Amino acid sequence: MNRALPLMIAGCLCGGLAEISYGADLMAVYRDAVAYDAQFASARAALEAGREKLPQGRAGLMPTVGLASSTTWSDTDTTRRVSGAAEINTRYNSSGWTASLSQPLFRWQNWVAYTQAELAVAQAEAQFGLARQELIVRAAQAYFDVLLAQDALATAQAQKLAIAEQLESAKRNFEVGTATITDTHEAQARYDLATAQEIAADNDLTVKRQVLRAVIGKEPEGLKNIKPGVQLARPQPDDIGKWVEMAESASAPVRIYQAQFEIATREVEKQRAGHYPTLDLVATRGRNSGTNSTTLGSGFDSNASTVGLQLSIPIFAGGGTASRDREAVALKEKATADLENARRTAALNARQAYLGVTSGLAQVRAYEAALTSSQSALDSNKLGYEVGVRINIDVLNATSQLYDTRQKLAKARLDTLAALLKLKAAAGSLGDEDVAAVNSLLD
């Protein structure tokens, strides 16, 4: 059962740059992705195909009915030379039909194939579930990447503006003789660097928008950012061991390989059933009629019905049955190893995602504190520069540190949200309600 993400809204220092919101949110992006994404469409079609395995497997247990009919005309001229030449013309027509029914009574391999079909459907369902979880993660990551690129561009623009003001101040102070030309050159260098960073940030935003467009099929007009004052809570249960246990038993890849293992196990039984006898109920009903047009003329009609049991005992098939048996045993061993590898990989993914969440939460708190300190340092350096106890480079460094901290805080918050989704996916419980939970945190 899916669980809502353990997120709560509480008052705290956000510290990020405010973004303009246009109304598009994560839920809208996810819905567009469900309707447009080609990978998800492929997974949906694969699910429909996989569900057909069940009626195909059931067909081996059901009776088969057939109907055959035929009609034949012949025209024969015969010359007799016994006591004088004579020609006899024979025209003959025969027609008939036969209805047949065969009902398997004991074909063990057909029963095993039916159970394999049920497992194949379960495997298809698990594969579709994995595709849906991957779509959620991809859509959310593309969404967060655009938000981060927007923050980076806004940061670069704000930093450029702040450096431009410092550049103008340095120029004025140089003109009145209270500062050296070095201050102006330093400010100009920082301004040029900020311009280059702004260009790179704008290009990166364009690229990230195109990535999101490839997922949702349209150009995103604007995305809602995280609400100011949102605090992310620790994952629940707050125990990495329990998340690992859930991943090892319930993650989508594990369920896929578990079904594959069960299918391989039954395949061994199915191939060994090739040594067993088979018993079928068979019944036929037919009618044949014919006409013979000669000098005397004749014809016939016949009806026939049969019901019986047909027993078949395999004795030797060139070694093919035994070879397929050995092949199935080897494939079962492969499926066992694949299942174990899936469990180990799921456990590793769960650990990494859990540590990503906890580390991200710690980074968010650290960057929030650093943002407050950076703002205080900038204010102090500006005041010190005005009274002459700080130089221009000190103000520029403090400005760069402030905006760098803001950018890192925004990234840490978005990375933590992405890690929360990945943790739920690793445990096999990521669903639409988790998208809604994250969506509720958007402004």
Interval 180-230: pLDDT, tens: 788 788 888 888 998 999 999 999 999 999 999 999 998 877 789 888 778
Interval 123-165: pLDDT, tens: 999 999 999 999 999 999 999 999 999 989 988 888 888 888 8
Same domain, 344 and 226: yes
| Predicted pLDDT of residue 210 | 93
Q: How far apart are CA 137 and CA 134, in angstroms?
A: 5
Same domain, 285 and 348: no
CA distance to 119, 256, 321, per residue, from 334 (Å): 17, 14, 20
DSSP string of 110-171? HHHHHHHHHHHHHHHHHHHHHHHHHHHHHHHHHHHHHHHHHHHHHHHHHHHHHHHHHHHHHH
Is residue 297 assigned to a domain?
yes
Same domain, 195 and 293: no
| Predicted pLDDT of residue 79 | 66
Is residue 173 assigned to a domain?
yes
| Predicted pLDDT of residue 164 | 87
Same domain, 120 and 189: yes
φ, ψ at 339 (rounded to 5°): -65, -45
| Predicted pLDDT of residue 384 | 87
Residue among 68, 25, 91, 61 at smallest CA distance from 278: 61
Last residue within a domain, chosen from 268, 296, 313: 313
Is residue 53 assigned to a domain?
yes
| Predicted pLDDT of residue 350 | 95
Is residue 392 assigned to a domain?
yes
CATH number at residue 375: 1.20.1600.10
Total of domains in the chain: 2
| Predicted pLDDT of residue 333 | 97
| Predicted pLDDT of residue 427 | 94
CA distance to 241, 378, 396, per residue, from 173 (Å): 62, 19, 16
Contact indicator for 151, 205 with CB cutoff of 8 Å: no
Is residue 1 assigned to a domain?
no
| Predicted pLDDT of residue 294 | 58
Same domain, 406 and 424: yes
Q: Which residue range forms the structural domain that includes residue 272? A: 8-60+107-276+314-439
pTM (predicted TM-score): 0.81
Last residue within a domain, chosen from 261, 286, 313: 313
Last residue within a domain, chosen from 286, 313, 340: 313
Convert 92-105 into a string of H (helix), E (strand) and C (coil).
EEEEEEEEEEEEEE
Q: Which residues of the chain have pLDDT under 70?
A: 1-23, 77-89, 178-179, 293-298
Same domain, 167 and 210: yes
Q: Go through 249-261 and write b for each residue having 16 or more CB atoms within 10 A of its CB, e for each that does not.
A: eebbbbbbbbbbb
Is residue 323 assigned to a domain?
yes
**Six token digits for residue 355:** 């540590």
| Predicted pLDDT of residue 49 | 96
